[in-house]
Amino acid sequence: MATVQKPNTSKGTRSGFSSRLGFIAAAAGSAVGLGNIWRFPAETGANGGAAFLVIYLLCTVLIGFPIMVGEITLGRRAQSDPFGAYSKVGKGGWGIVGLLGVLCGIMILSFYNVVAGWAFGYFLQISFGDLLAQPDFGAYFGQFAAGWYENHIFWYALAFMAITAFVVLKGIKDGIETIAKVLMPALFLLLVGLIIYALTLDGAGDGLAYYLLPDFSKVTPKTFYTAMGQAFFSLSLGMGALITYGSYISKKENIISSAAIVTIADISVAFLAGLLIFPLVFSQGQAPSGGPGLVFVALPGIFQSMGPILGRIVGGGFFLLLCVAALTSTISLLEVPASHLIDERKVPRKFAVIGLSVVIFILGIPSMLSAGGSEFFTQMLVYENGSDKSFLDLINDVFSDTFLPLGGLILSLFLAYRWNLADMAKEIEQGNEGYIGSALNKYLDISIRFICPIILGGITLVTILEKFLSIQIFG
Ligand code: TRP
């Protein structure tokens, strides 16, 4: 949902968001997406429930929020894309960090678009097909996702990529912004309504207990790095998306309160999604550790129970709104590599957007084949204990769970030791008088100077050792 206008082609004037609400809407639109409704419940379910929720919330508030303020502030100061921002403010070879962000944007979008394609397919199959008449939604999802070509996922994903490209190409203003401003609150209300309904079902209480009563004995190092990855993914941090958006805002904007609103919106939607999914999962006797299919397996049951007509309307409506939420996120993922090519490499906007979309779509094909379509991509890695990882899982591990927190680590080191926290505070002071010297200023300084580097550094190290080198550190 964006009001980002394309930077003026005549050099020097970088036009911005039309209003304060415009920036918040765009940044919240980037944050709220499949990460909240699809990825968050799946990660929570795979990592033991409530304890994961608590750690995820701590990661978001203690680390995510300061990093978000840092990205927006750096973007507004530098007035350019992540590559330009790092090279301008940092001098020397810092631009390479921005390139890492460009790479992350491309790779994350490649699989994100496939999952958006599933959501689009579910919208069509619920509204106009016979999805709700199926006897077993687990089996249905399995064969749906495996039939990447027979079940048209190829075309759904292609359509989604094309719509994203179209919106970014047109400069993202008018249409989508208005649509999203109406539809995102609608998604929120629909979630609340469905939760109330779900809580009345038999077995819902077990789901609530699983989601809300932490059992910290289940916590392992993996819980921490997965929660941190989820926090970064959900807030759209660590690859410069908010550096890019920050570069479009005016000096009158209050960065702190904008970042706070975006963070709260993002947490709220994720929390509500969990509050819906876990009662459903337990009342339907499914396993919470259902993996990437969790939402697609748990949700249809509630729509089915509404009867054929209402079910089609509410269920179709839900997945359509989910697609809109995904669209405002894919826009921001595409905007980073696109603005890099446009600002730094002087590629005309049209070629940049279309070229990138084609490349990203093709890079997404192995992810499309990761849900049973091809044995090779479905079981890229098979471990001794019999568990396996698909291509999509691997891309997710490397780019979402490792590179995004790594991007946050580098950003915090950059802000504290290469740029300068006093300068950063001066930038924030514009639009937020009285910030300098305030308690929040002191907290953010400490967080960026010490807490973020130590925690993110530790997490990155553990991720690399455990995940990629299979060295078990904590027993
Ligand atoms: N935050 C989005 C979601 O939760 C996904 C996303 C959009 C993203 N832009 C990003 C993730 C930039 C990381 C970086 O669905």
Q: Which residues contact 318 (CB under 8 A, 6 or more apart)?
A: 187, 190, 194, 299, 303
Q: Give the Å distance between the CA of 234 and the centre of ligand 1.
A: 5
Write out the DSSP string of 159-226: HHHHHHHHHHHT-S-HHHHHHHHHHHHHHHHHHHHHHHHHHTSTTHHHHHHHHHS--GGG--HHHHHH
For the stretch 24-44, pLDDT in tens is: 888 999 999 999 999 999 999
Q: What are phi and psi of 18, to 5 degrees?
A: -75, -25
| Helix, strand or coil, per DSSP, at residue 315 | helix
For the stretch 323-374, pLDDT in tens is: 999 999 999 999 999 989 988 899 999 999 999 999 999 999 999 999 989 9
Atom of ligand 1 nearest to the CA of 34: 15
Confidence (pTM)? 0.93
Atom of ligand 1 nearest to the CA of 332: 9
Spacing of C-alpha 229 from chain mean position = 10
The pLDDT profile of the chain, 475 residues, written as one tens digit per residue, is 444 444 443 333 455 676 767 788 889 999 999 999 999 999 999 999 999 999 999 999 999 999 999 999 999 999 988 999 999 999 888 999 999 999 999 999 999 999 999 999 999 999 999 999 999 999 999 999 999 989 999 999 999 999 999 988 886 555 566 677 788 889 999 999 999 999 999 999 999 999 999 999 989 989 999 999 999 999 999 999 999 999 988 899 999 999 999 999 999 999 999 999 999 999 999 999 988 899 999 999 999 999 999 999 999 999 999 999 999 999 999 999 998 998 889 999 999 999 999 999 999 999 999 998 999 999 988 887 778 889 999 999 999 999 999 999 999 999 999 999 999 999 999 999 999 999 999 999 999 999 999 999 999 999 988 877 877 766 5
Degrees, nearest 5: CA angle 362-326-214: 115
Q: What are phi and psi of 81, to 5 degrees?
A: -65, 170
CB-based burial label for 166 (10 Å; 0-12, 13-18, 19+): middle
Degrees, nearest 5: CA angle 173-179-180: 85
Atom 14 in ligand 1: residue holding the nearest Cα:
236
For residues 163 and 2, give the distance between their C-alpha atoms in angstroms, rounded to a whole number. 14
| Helix, strand or coil, per DSSP, at residue 463 | helix
Q: Give the Å distance between the CA of 206 and the centre of ligand 1.
A: 31
Q: Which residues contact 53 (CB under 8 A, 6 or more apart)?
A: 44, 211, 212, 214, 271, 274
| Cβ of 73 below 6 Å from ligand 1 | no
Q: Give the Å distance between the CA of 133 and the centre of ligand 1.
A: 33
Spacing of C-alpha 26 from chain mean position = 13
User: Where are the alpha helices (H) located in 284-348, listed in sequence order?
Assistant: 294-304, 308-344
What the block records as the tokens of 76 is 């507004």
| Helix, strand or coil, per DSSP, at residue 9 | coil
| Cβ of 400 below 6 Å from ligand 1 | no
Q: Give the Å distance between the CA of 426 and the centre of ligand 1.
A: 28
For residues 407 and 3, give the distance between their C-alpha atoms in angstroms, rounded to a whole number. 25
Atom of ligand 1 nearest to the CA of 30: 7
What the block records as the tokens of 56 is 């995820």
Nearest in space to 316 (alpha carbons), one of 330, 328, 301, 300: 300
